Amino acid sequence: MRNVQETLLLCRTLSDTARIADLVDALTVYALAEAEASGSEEGDSDDEETASGSQELPQNYWSCIARALEQAKNLRYLNIHIADNSNAGAAWVLGKCTFQLRGFHCDLNWDNHLVSFLNKQTDLNDLYLLDYLNPSNVLTPAVEGPTTSPSPRLSSTSFPLLSTLECTFSEAAVAITPGRPITRLKTCFSRTRLDEKRAEMTELLAKVRESSRPLRALDIADSEYTTTFSMELLSLIVASRATSLELRYLGTLVLPISGREVSGDCFFHTPKLQALLTPRPYESPSKRLRFYGLLMRLPRIQCIEVEVSSWVPPPSSPPAFRALASEMRLYTPSVSRVVFVHDFDRTIVTVVDGVCRMDNDANYELLWRDT
């Protein structure tokens, strides 16, 4: 539901007609003001009108949604997309809900209302969280004021069936993963200083190992990718059976520049391709071999996402991408798909009948879920 007036009309229908509300098992809400919604639909030509139009939702918008959610007792999949932070503090709309979700995409602020709702969920197996607040990191106010409510805490018994978790804060993964059957995890490193990020990495993987099921997919984004840190991360992953034995998807790691070990007829011995694989003086010639050696300790790996932004020149042609994928398969033949990342642009190579081919149809955003 993108259009505000249509959203309100539908919500009133669900609120007033229990028979219809009982039939709803999936609902997606986009919290866009009318000017924003019309701008997204009509394109850039209406930018000035959008900028001058109202950016506030109607006063009864969230209360209308709350009543509709209260009536949708058989809802199983709920997606709440928030366009800006001014509308993110609306988790109170979940207060009277009795449905048990299986999938929940949540852009709402992490607060007592949201935690209270999550603590009641028993069937949830797929969760996306945009926000998270670590209770142990909440600072005590320097100036005395009105008594504040306790920091929200998840119950250890909430959503015991959760298997897929996507969260923008690794602290959320640390809090949620232990004791739950999480097999697919997508998150981000929050720290930027190397020593702090190493500690964050160690804690995250320690908690991931406490999942009640072996990990099948792990996707960790970072603000800056370096070869050294990627090697440390990969070493920790392969060091534990819980994070290596069943792992099918892994990203994102830096593919080391150095190394001449390439495969066959994809290269055509072009000067540009040879330059791509010429070891740099500041790297050991065997660094990429060590990288592949670690990958070989992932017996079921099928898809890997690698960063090549630091390569000079970067791989850019289909023969270069196919050659690098073929090289990787020399050491890890179980790999059937490689995603190359260069400045946030992604190129996918998929193995078809033993041959590496460029894949323009695959949706990279879903690979960690589908592999």
Q: Give the tens place of pLDDT for each residue, 262-315.
A: 433 333 334 444 444 444 444 444 899 999 999 999 999 999 999 999 999 999
pLDDT tens digit string along 346-364?
Answer: 999 999 999 999 999 999 9
d(CA 291, CA 331): 10
Sign of the torsion formed by the C-alpha atoms of 31, 32, 34 and 38 = negative
User: Considering the domain boundaries, does residue 69 fall inside one?
Assistant: no
* Alpha-carbon span 100 to 112, nearest angstrom: 18
Residue 31 belongs to a domain: no
CA distance 70 to 233: 44
Instruction: Tell me if 28 is assigned to some domain.
Output: no
Alpha-carbon distance 254 to 310, whole Å? Answer: 9
DSSP labels, 54-83: --S--TTHHHHHHHHHHH-TT--EEEEEES
Look at residue 321 and tell me if it is in a domain: yes
The closest of 135, 101, 133, 134 to 117, measured between CA atoms, is 101
Closest to 282 measured CA to CA, from 243, 228, 361: 228
CA distances (Å), origin 261, targets 241, 274, 320, 332 = 28, 11, 13, 14
Which position has the higher pLDDT, 100 or 270? 100
Residue 163 lies in a domain: no
Question: What residues make up the domain containing 315?
Answer: 253-371
Q: CA-to-CA distance for 114 and 27, rounded, in angstroms?
A: 18
Which is nearest to 301 in space by CA: 235, 238, 357? 238
Rounded distance between C-alpha atoms, residue 144 and residue 149, angstroms: 14
For the segment 121-168, what is each residue's pLDDT rounded down to a tens digit? 999 999 999 999 887 764 444 444 444 456 678 999 999 999 999 999
At residue 279, the pLDDT reads 44
Query: Does residue 215 belong to any structural domain of this protein?
Result: no
Are the C-beta atoms of residues 104 and 78 closer than 8 Å to each other? yes
Above pLDDT 70, what percent of the chain? 82
pLDDT value at residue 135: 78
Query: pTM score, two decimals?
Result: 0.86
**85 falls in which pLDDT band (50, 70, 90)?**
confident
116 in a domain, yes or no? no
Q: Give the separation between CA 131 and CA 136, rounded to whole angstroms.
A: 16
* Residues pairing with 305 in the sheet: 339
Domain assignment of residue 145, yes or no: no
pLDDT at 1: 67
Q: How many domains is the chain built from? A: 1
Q: State the DSSP code for 95.
A: T
Q: Which two tokens stand for residue 201?
A: 């990495």
Classified as helix, coil or strand, 266 is helix
* pLDDT for res 139: 42
Determine the residue type at 20: I
Report which of 322, 330, 331, 256 is spatially closest to residue 298, judged by C-alpha positions.
331
Distances (CA, A) of 34 to 19, 47, 64, 154: 29, 13, 16, 35
Residue 47 has pLDDT above 50, yes or no: no
pLDDT value at 220 more than 90? yes
